[in-house]
Structure 1
C-alpha cells in the first residue's frame, strides 16, 4: 500500500475508533521514555476518515504522543479509499511481527480478518487468514477463539493474563448467571487455581445449584464462603483449601461423611507399622483393602496377630457395619 508521510495533529486522530485495535495492553513507561528521547522511529499508520484519522497500526504510539502533548506527530497516512481488508491485514501483521499475541489478541485478530473477508470463515479459512498475518492456529483453537471478543472485559483481562485458561473462560462466558460468573472468576484469579481445580469448583457449584433448585450466585453467597473470600489476611493456600473442602462437603455430603468416619476409625485403631487399612476407591462402595508390608517371616507372624486384633476391634466393626448411609455422590 502507498503511504504518504505527513505531520498529523494528535487532536485530529479519532481515539474512540478502535476498529483495527489488536493489542490488549496500553502504552508503557518504556515506550514513553523512548519516544520522548529519540522520537517516533516507526510512525503509526493512519487511515483518512473525513477531516479526521483512524489508527490502523500504532495505538500505543499515538497514546504516548498525546501524553507528551505533541502538537503534531509523523504518521504514514492512507487515503480514505484504501481497502478495508488491506488495512485489517496490516493491523494484525504489525502486531504479530512484534511479539506473540495472547489469546484475546489472537481472537481479535481473527474477528477483524473474518470481518474484512465478509463472512465467518470455515475453520481452515480462518487459519489461512491468520497465517497470512504470521499467526499459526489450528481448527480447534479457532472454534474456541470466536466467542472471546464477546466476553466481558474482566474475563478477557483474566484470559489475557493467563489466570483463567481458555476452556474455563468459555464455560464462565456461557453461564446464564453473570453475577456468579464474576464471583467464580475473581475466586479463580485470587486463589491462582489450576485448570483442574477451577473445573472441579464450577462442576460442584453447578451440581449443588441444580440439586437444591438455586441460582449459582445463591450457592456462592454462603456466609462462610463469603467470609473466607473477603478475608484479606488469610494465607492464599489455606483459603483455597478451606473453600474447596467446604464446597466439596456440600456437593458430596455422604462421601465426605464417609471420609471423616474412616479417618476417625484409623486413628482409633492405631494399626502397627506395616499395616495400612485402605478405603474403597474414591470412598464409594463397601470393599476395603488391607495392605501388609513385611521383611521377614517373624514380622509377618506379628502382623498376622495384629490383623486379628484389628478384626475384633469395635471401631472397625462399627465402620464395616455402618451400611445404612448412602455413599453415592448425591
Structure 2
C-alpha cells in the first residue's frame, strides 16, 4: 500500500454518510466510553473521510463521528483523502489504522475478511491477512468467517461479540450448514438459556442428531419435546431450566441410556444410604467402576457410616441396569 496524503477541512456532520460505510469494520460497539472521552478532552484524532460528489464517505472514525452527533456537534475537522484513491486502498487504510489501536472481535474479523475478498484472491487473504488478525492460515477457517459475515443474523452475531457463543459451537453450525431459520432459533435458545460452552455444543449436537433421525425441523422438535415450555416458564430458575432442557435432550437422544440411569438411581435411592453418602455411576456406564462419596466430620463419624454401610445387604445388588435379571 502506497503512502497517502490528505488535507484537513472543516466538514458539516450532516454531509458525512453514516449509513453507507464500506470501509468500516466496527460491530457491536457502545458509544458511552468514546462519548465521555470526547466530552472531557475533545476530539484527539480526526476521522479520515473521502469526498464522493456532494457527500463524504467514512474511511476511519465511524464511532467518533457517531459520538460527535450524539454530543450535538455540527462540524468536525476531517482528514480528506483524494477522490482517486481506490476502494481497496481505503479499506487497507482503515484496517491498519485500527489494528494498531484495538483488538477486533470475531464478527469484525469476519467483516474485514469479507470486504477484502471483494478485491483480493482468497489465497492472498489467507497468507497475508489472516495471520494479521490472529487466525491460522487455513481455507476452512476463512470460509467460516466469510459465512459469519454473509450468512449469520445479527442476533447470533451479538452472541459472538459478547463471547456468549463458543467458536467450537459456531463451527458446528457452519460445518453442518444449518439453515437460516434454525440459526435464529439457536440464537434465541442460547441467548435465553445461558448454557456453558460445553452445554452449547451438546445442545447443538443432540438437537441436530434428533431432528435428522426423526426427519423433523428444529422448531417442531422444540415444541413437541416441551423444551419451549421449559424456556418460557417464568417460575423456573435459570439453573432449573438448563437442567430440565439438557435432561430432555439426553432422554430423546439416548433413550436407552437415559432409562438405564434413571433405573440405577432409583435403585440407589431405595437402598437407604446413610446421610452424607452417595453413589454415582460412570458416565454413560462406559467405565467399569462406580464411585461412593462419604462426607464426615471426624474419624468417629466415618467409622459409624462405614459400619452402617457394611450392614446394607442391598449394596451387593448394584450393577449395570442391563445386567439385572
TM-score, reference length from structure 1: 0.79
Aligned to 2:186: 184
| Paired residues of 2:268 and 2:279 also in contact (CA < 8 A) | yes
Deviation at 1:277, TM superposition (A): 7.3
Unpaired runs of at least 5, structure 2? 295-303
Name the CA shift for 1:267/1:129 in 2 (closer, same or farther; >3 Å).
Answer: closer
After TM superposition, the structure 1 stretch with the greater mean CA deviation from structure 2, 192-201 or 169-178, is 169-178
- How big is each residue's C-alpha offset from its partner over 1:160-206, in whole Å with a ceiling of 9 and x where there is no partner? 11101223224335544433322222222333222221111111112
* 1:169 alignment partner in structure 2: 170
The alignment yields a C-alpha RMSD, in angstroms, of: 3.6
Query: What is the match of residue 223 of structure 2?
Result: 221
1:1-330 equivalence runs, <5 A: 1-26=4-29, 28-116=31-119, 118-121=120-123, 125-130=125-130, 135-140=133-138, 141-150=141-150, 151-173=152-174, 175-222=177-224, 224-270=226-272, 282-283=284-285, 310-311=315-316, 322=324
Task: Give the whole-Å Cα distance in 1 for the aligned partners of 2:87 and 2:320.
Answer: 76
Q: Alpha-carbon deviation of 1:38?
A: 3.8
Following superposition, the deviation at residue 308 of structure 1 comes to 6.8
Any idea what SS the aligned residue of 1:209 has? helix
Residue 167 to residue 308, structure 1, CA distance change in 2 (3 Å) = closer
> Any idea what SS the aligned residue of 2:59 has?
strand
Per-residue CA deviations over 1:76-134 (Å, capped at 9, x if unaligned) read 00111013222111111222222111111112222223333x32225xx4341355xx5
C-alpha change, 1:152 and 1:319, in structure 2 (3 Å) is: closer
Contact 1:3 1:76 in 2 (8 A): yes
User: Unaligned stretches of 5+ in structure 1?
Assistant: 294-298, 324-330
Aligned length: 310
d(CA) in 2 for partners of 1:319, 1:64: 65
Q: Describe the superposition over 1:241-268 as per-residue Cα deviations: whole angstroms up to 9, x where unpaired.
A: 1111112112211111111111122233
Secondary structure of the residue aligned to 2:17 is coil
